[in-house]
Amino acid sequence: MSSNVSKQRLWLICELYYPEVNATGHYITQIGTGLADEFDVNVICGQPNYLSKGIRAPSRDNYKGVKIFRVWSTTLNKDVLIFRLINMITIGASMFARCIWEFRRGDRVLVVTAPPSLPYTTALAALCKSAQYIVLLHDLYPDILVALGKTRRSSALVSLVERLNRWLYKHASRLIVVGRDMRERVARKAEGLDVPIIVIPNWSDLEGIEPSDKGSNKLLQNLGIQEKFVLMYAGNIGHPTDIETIVLAADKVRDDSEIHFIFVGSGAKLGWLEREVAKRGLTNISILGQRPREEQNEFLNACDVGLISLTDGMLGTAMPSRTYNILAAGKAIIALTEHGSELATVITEERVGWYTPPGDPAALVELIESARHDPELAEKGQLAREAAEQKYSPSIAVDRYREVVRLR
């Protein structure tokens, strides 16, 4: 196709896009740039408000052939609930107005579930302008709120959101989910609506991450723990993560000088983590805070095993994207997750580690000991890298998005 005039127009509707480099912004940017050769890709998004907060990007931009329209919104501290709600309201209103202005009959729209209100307002705009929309479900609401104890399954809020979901799914041309456990849960919610549900996992950053020798890792050298058995938690330290069990496990092995834990990241539970480590005097935990994305190859390789944790009840509601970059670094995984989750399934299928249900520090300690003394630990790391290359690469994922967007 020689020009955008002859290309199908595709809109990506998301809060975060380039130059935002958090997981969602990174993935949606790769989808946009990956599809720009075949589609006239346009993005409606907000200003950077996560890892790239403070950068003021142009309201109109073009990045790798993708036209970007950035709307105004508040960018208050997202870890404070009332501020997060204000951000959601302001960006929702701005994006809805822009969608109404820009959408045309026959356009195709891909909308993500962050913030949670975004799919509903985008769907309304798409229906008003006779555009087709696809919903990319990275997170499943209201299920996450129930899992985190923020509301009850029997509450009026849950009933309202479930009704809105039925409306959203009914009019969607397709639903994309990031895990097989999520597909099962969404299929129950969409029963009788005859809407296709397609699984497209997130993927590894194969260009930026590759296995490297632990012995020459500068981060470990700076911490003075090159010779220890190191477990790395790298990613969001938020409400859906079972950080508590990891801390309790670290407390149980505090007298074992050969085991060390590293936390890289930020989120709503970071303050609790820092206070708890100080209160317990846990010298076997290093908290490094948020690190730039360009340093992830170094910190993901600063361990023997990668840690991933989800709280109880998260089955089918989300899949930690950090999983795929741990695979890219060639590291085995220990996970706190429920049986049947996408995370547990990947670990089992690829033979790259261990998992146990959240909330059991003793069981986590047992897995740590199993990993430490496993003669096939290096082989698990090799299998992890192979899985990243053969099943969870950017090119594979973008091609699957291409197929889904092509469908009428």
- pLDDT reported for residue 143: 95
**Cα–Cα distance measured from residue 336 to residue 339, given in angstroms and rounded to the nearest whole number:** 10
> In order of start, what are the domains of the chain with their CATH numbers?
4-203+393-406 (3.40.50.2000), 214-390 (3.40.50.2000)
**Cα–Cα distance measured from residue 19 to residue 352, given in angstroms and rounded to the nearest whole number:** 33
**Cα–Cα distance measured from residue 211 to residue 378, given in angstroms and rounded to the nearest whole number:** 11
Give Rg (Cα) of the chain. Answer: 21
**Cα–Cα distance measured from residue 394 to residue 157, given in angstroms and rounded to the nearest whole number:** 37
Please answer whether residues 360 and 334 qualify as being in contact, where contact means their C-beta atoms are separated by less than 8 angstroms: no
Cβ atoms < 10 Å from Cβ of 122: 27
Q: Look at the block and give the residue holding tokens 């005039």.
A: 5
**Cα–Cα distance measured from residue 350 to residue 332, given in angstroms and rounded to the nearest whole number:** 10
- pLDDT reported for residue 101: 97
Cβ atoms < 10 Å from Cβ of 218: 11
**Cα–Cα distance measured from residue 136 to residue 174, given in angstroms and rounded to the nearest whole number:** 9
Please answer whether residues 87 and 76 qualify as being in contact, where contact means their C-beta atoms are separated by less than 8 angstroms: yes
End-to-end CA distance of the chain: 19
Could you tell me the mean pLDDT of each successive run of 10 residues in the chain, 408 residues long? Answer: 70 93 90 97 88 77 96 78 82 94 97 92 97 97 93 94 97 97 97 96 95 93 95 94 98 97 94 97 96 92 97 95 97 98 98 98 98 97 98 97 91
Enter the pTM of the model.
0.93
- pLDDT reported for residue 246: 98
How would DSSP label each residue in 21-82? -SHHHHHHHHHHHHHTTTEEEEEEE----STTTT----SEEEETTEEEEEPP-----TTSHH
